[in-house]
């Protein structure tokens, strides 16, 4: 990062902290965000990075910009305030469609507000938790960071929301092939992928951009056998080539090295392979 970029980030961090110190009940509005859009943000960690750096992950934004074209279909699982949903909606244009799926109702309201502010009628938001089964789930949410993950509805001390598989969601929304599935389920990515197995095996999802969480995170939240390696293995078995940001395959050794270097999450891009392996 250059000195100028560093100063810009520091300046924005100061503005962010001052806003919440002085107006804690007022949402943060970013004028002239990406491509001239307006972005309304809540007080959360991922929202802060969207202001500091435009996108929480520049790698994910670059991959989306490379993959998406006008008229395409996108499903954004774990949309939060809709940063990547807005990017996708602008890239696919009015002839395309973006479904933002997010279990936190207040975040869904922000997605809808951001879509309206920017005239993105192709962006549709859903209060829903996608997973391996069609049943309600509980939410465990950190009120300060707004980070959250699903738990059993029976064990939940917080809100309970509708849950469904991606297979069912696509049927109910009458979706055809999905050009891009962007997936951030706070460590529960494997469950979402299991709920999309028929779509993946049938080649109805062309690309998957998936955040892979550190094994300690997935183990603590969901169990030791449902982490990054298991998600990559499932995608491989369904005919996808899974790459890391540097172009390497998301093999076990490569993932172990990244997580050993204290990476909390690592983005991965899965491409559906043809019969010739391209």
Task: Scan for tokens 């980070």, then name that residue.
Answer: 147
pLDDT, tens digit, for every residue of 128-176?
999 999 998 887 776 665 666 776 777 666 788 899 999 999 999 999 9
User: What range does the domain containing 143 cover?
Assistant: 55-272
Domain assignment of residue 252, yes or no: yes
Residue 18 lies in a domain: no
Q: What is the pLDDT of residue 275?
A: 47
Instruction: Average the pLDDT over 11-32 and give the result.
Output: 95
Q: To 10 degrees, the CA torsion angle through 24, 129, 49, 230? A: 150
Task: Note the pLDDT of residue 205.
Answer: 98
171 part of a folded domain: yes
* Helix (H), strand (E) at residue 63: helix 58-67
- Count up the domains in the chain and report the number: 1
Please report whether residue 23 resides in a domain: no
Q: What's the mean per-residue pLDDT of the chain?
A: 91
Instruction: Return the minimum-mean-pLDDT range out of 40-49, 55-64, 120-129, 218-227.
Output: 218-227
In a domain, residue 10? The reply is no
Distances (CA, A) of 75 to 98, 117, 201, 215: 6, 20, 17, 25
Q: 80-124, pLDDT tens digit by residue?
A: 999 999 999 999 999 999 999 999 999 999 999 999 999 999 999
Q: Higher pLDDT residue, 275 or 195?
A: 195
Residue 47, in any domain of the structure: no
Angstrom distance (rounded) from CA 130 to CA 86: 20
CATH number, domain of 255, equals: 3.40.50.150
Reported confidence tier of residue 58, pLDDT bands at 50, 70, 90: very high
């Amino acid at each position: 990062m250059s000195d100028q970029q560093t100063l810009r980030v520091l300046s924005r961090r100061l503005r962010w902290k001052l806003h919440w110190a002085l107006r804690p009940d007022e949402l943060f509005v970013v004028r002239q965000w990406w491509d001239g859009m307006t972005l309304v943000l809540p007080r959360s960690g991922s929202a802060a990075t969207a202001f500091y750096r435009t996108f929480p992950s520049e790698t994910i934004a670059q991959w989306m910009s490379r993959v998406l074209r006008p008229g395409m279909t996108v499903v954004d699982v774990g949309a939060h305030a809709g940063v990547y949903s807005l990017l996708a909606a602008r890239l696919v244009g009015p002839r395309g469609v973006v479904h933002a799926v997010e279990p936190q109702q207040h975040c869904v309201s922000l997605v809808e507000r951001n879509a309206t502010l920017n005239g993105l009628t192709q962006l549709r938001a859903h209060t829903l938790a996608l997973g391996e089964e069609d049943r309600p789930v509980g939410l465990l949410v950190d009120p300060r960071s707004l980070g959250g993950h699903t738990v059993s509805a029976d064990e939940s001390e917080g809100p309970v929301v509708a849950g469904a598989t991606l297979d069912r969601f696509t049927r109910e929304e009458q979706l055809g092939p999905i050009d891009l599935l962007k997936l951030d389920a706070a460590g529960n990515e494997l469950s979402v992928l299991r709920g999309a197995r028929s779509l993946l095996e049938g080649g109805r999802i062309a690309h998957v951009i998936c955040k892979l969480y550190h094994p300690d995170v997935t183990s603590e939240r969901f169990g030791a056998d449902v982490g990054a390696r298991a998600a990559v293995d499932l995608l491989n078995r369904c005919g996808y080539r899974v790459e890391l940001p540097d172009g390497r395959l998301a093999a076990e050794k490569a993932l172990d090295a990244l997580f050993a270097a204290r990476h909390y999450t690592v983005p991965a891009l899965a491409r559906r392979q043809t019969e010739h392996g391209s």
